Chain A
Amino acid sequence: EVQLVQSGVEVKKSGESLKISCQGSGYAFSSYWINWVRLVPGKGLEWVGRIDTNYYYTNYNPSFEGHVTISVDKSITTAYLQWDSLKASDTAIYFCARPAEYSKYSPLAYWGQGTLVTVSS
């Protein structure tokens, strides 16, 4: 069974750094991209970016590029989303998601449970 398990709730202050994780299991981890999607309550879903877990290529939403970094550690089948300097506007639930097939042009069929990030100013 494909599973994506994310790290727990985070409460931070503006300016602090943060790295949240998403561990995949039940499938060949390096054969699929991992995407990150943000949910801001009352605002809907936003695609943050994605990483090719085999070759480490990344694509970012221009709105997030330069503010977040997506990385992966294949040895522990885990992807990461990190910030060097958080802002209050980063407060959201962050989901990782895996496409149905090995292609970045494939719909997001498997999702993690979400990580709530709260940033106070």
Chain B
Amino acid sequence: EIVLTQSPGTLSLSPGERATLSCRASQPVTNNYLAWFQHKPGQAPRLLIYRASTRSTGIPDRFSGSGSGTDFTLTINTLAPEDFAVYYCQQFGTSPTFGQGTKVEIK
């Protein structure tokens, strides 16, 4: 099983700042099958990024993903008020797993 470790656990930032979230895999992620999701309470998770760096349909370009192999990053440029949420990485290979999440909260 591929274990995904996200850091930091919580990120306290102000609107307009940049958020940088990390996701580290215990072994290389096959074909960069790595996705990022945003989750808000009472809602379903929302797919932001897949294949490590491809934005999903309708996702604003302030969200970007990078990385390959075992180290991946989600960057949110210029945080908007609606971006404060929990973010999860997921590898969607043979036996999918999620990271434990990073909460982006308002400072």
By a beta-carbon cutoff of 8 Å, the part of chain A in contact with chain B is 35, 37, 39, 43-47, 59, 61-62, 95, 97, 99-100, 105-109, 111-114
Contact = CB atoms under 8 A, between A and B. Distances in A.
Given A45-B88, A100-B50, A113 B100 contact: no
Given A44-B98, A45-B39, A45-B88, A107 B44 contact: no
B28 interface: no
B44 A44 contact: no
Contact of A107 (B56, B86, B95, B97): B56
Contact of B44 (A46, A47, A62, A114): A114
Interface string B75-90: 0000000000010101
Interface residues of B, number: 26
Q: Is the interface of A mostly helix, strand, loop or mixed?
A: strand
A106 B92 contact: yes
Given A106-B92, A113-B44, A45 B98 contact: yes
Given A44-B101, A47-B97, A105-B33, A111 B92 contact: no
Q: Which of A47, A100, A107, A108 has the most CB of B within 10 A?
A: A107
Q: Which of B31, B44, B50, B93 has the most CB of A within 10 A?
A: B44
A107 B31 contact: no
